[in-house]
Amino acid sequence: MPVTQPIVLSPAQARVLGVLIEKEVTTPDYYPLSLNALVNASNQLTNRDPVMRLDDEEVHLALRRLEDLGLAGRARAADGRVAKYEHWLGEAFNFTRAETALVCVLLLRGPQTPGELRSRTDRLHRFDEITDVLGGLQKLMERESPLVTVLARQPGTKESRYAHLLSGPVESAVAAESVFVPRPAVSAAIRTAADDPAQEDRIARLEATVAELQQKVDALNRKIDDLFGD
C-alpha cells in the first residue's frame, strides 16, 4: 500500500531499510532476513557509511517504525518458527529497479556523486552510462514529494553529491533545477576536452587508472561482504 504518513527515518531505520533492499538482490537465498542476519548486515564494515554498531533491540525498534510506515516488517509468506523480515518499497513507491538501486545505496552509504553511485549500484542494477544514473536521480527528485536532492558542490570537487530525503531535509542542499545533463551536453563536454589532445590524453589515463582501482576495491569488498556479511 502507498505510504501516506510523512517519512523521517532515523539513522538506524534508514540502515535497516537499506539492508533489506540490498540483501533481497545480493543474497536472495537468505532473504527475507532473520533478526540476527539483519543485525549483522546492518553492522557490516564494508559498503556502509557510517559503520554502525546496532544491537538486536535497536534493530527491532527500527523494524517496528518501518512497519508503521508501511516500508518493511515481518515477512508475510515466511515459513518456520524464526521470524523473518522484508521490505515493501515496491508497494510504497512503485520504484523501477534503477530507482530502487539508487535509493538503496544512498541509504547505506550517504551522499555520493553520480560516478560513485554508478559503481556502487553494480550488484543491484547495471547503469550503462553516467547519464542513466543522472536520469534516475532526476526522476526521484521530480516526485510530488522529492526523495533525493543534490547538495552544494564541495570546494575543490568537480561532481555534486546526491542524498536521499527519507531522513528529512539535508544540509547544504541546493535547488534541483537543471540537474540532469542531457546526452548532447555530455558530448559537447567531450568535444571541448578533445580540443586539447594533451589534456584529453591525461584525462583518459587518469580515468583508466581510477576505473581499474575502483574495480579492484569493489571486487575486494564483495569478497569481504560474502565472507562476513550474512
CATH number reported for the structural domain that contains residue 143 in this entry: 1.10.10.10
Q: Is the pLDDT of residue 120 over 80?
A: yes
Q: Are residues 157 and 210 both part of a single domain? A: no
**How many Cα atoms sit within 13 Å of 11 on the Cβ side?**
10
Could you list the residue range(s) of the whole structural domain that residue 123 is in?
Answer: 109-179
- Are 25 and 124 contacting, i.e. CB atoms less than 8 angstroms apart? yes
b/e code 102-127 from CB counts within 10 Å (16+ = b)? bbbbbbbbbbbbbbbbbbbbbbbbeb
Q: Are residues 15 and 78 both part of a single domain? A: yes
Give me the pLDDT at residue 187, please: 43
Q: Are residues 168 and 113 both part of a single domain? A: yes
Q: Are residues 71 and 88 both part of a single domain? A: yes
Q: Are residues 188 and 158 both part of a single domain? A: no
* The total number of structural domains that make up the chain: 3
pTM score of the predicted model = 0.74
Residue 149: CB atoms within 10 A of its CB come to: 22
Q: Are residues 15 and 64 both part of a single domain? A: yes
Give me the pLDDT at residue 82, please: 87
Q: Is the pLDDT of residue 206 over 80?
A: no
**How far is the C-alpha of 47 from the C-alpha of 61, rounded, in Å?**
23
Residue 50: CB atoms within 10 A of its CB come to: 8
Tens of pLDDT, residue by residue over 145-203, are 999 999 988 888 889 999 999 999 987 665 443 344 444 444 444 444 444 555 545 55
Q: Are residues 204 and 163 both part of a single domain? A: no
Q: Are residues 171 and 158 both part of a single domain? A: yes
Q: Are residues 138 and 113 both part of a single domain? A: yes
Q: Are residues 18 and 75 both part of a single domain? A: yes
Q: Is the pLDDT of residue 223 over 80?
A: no
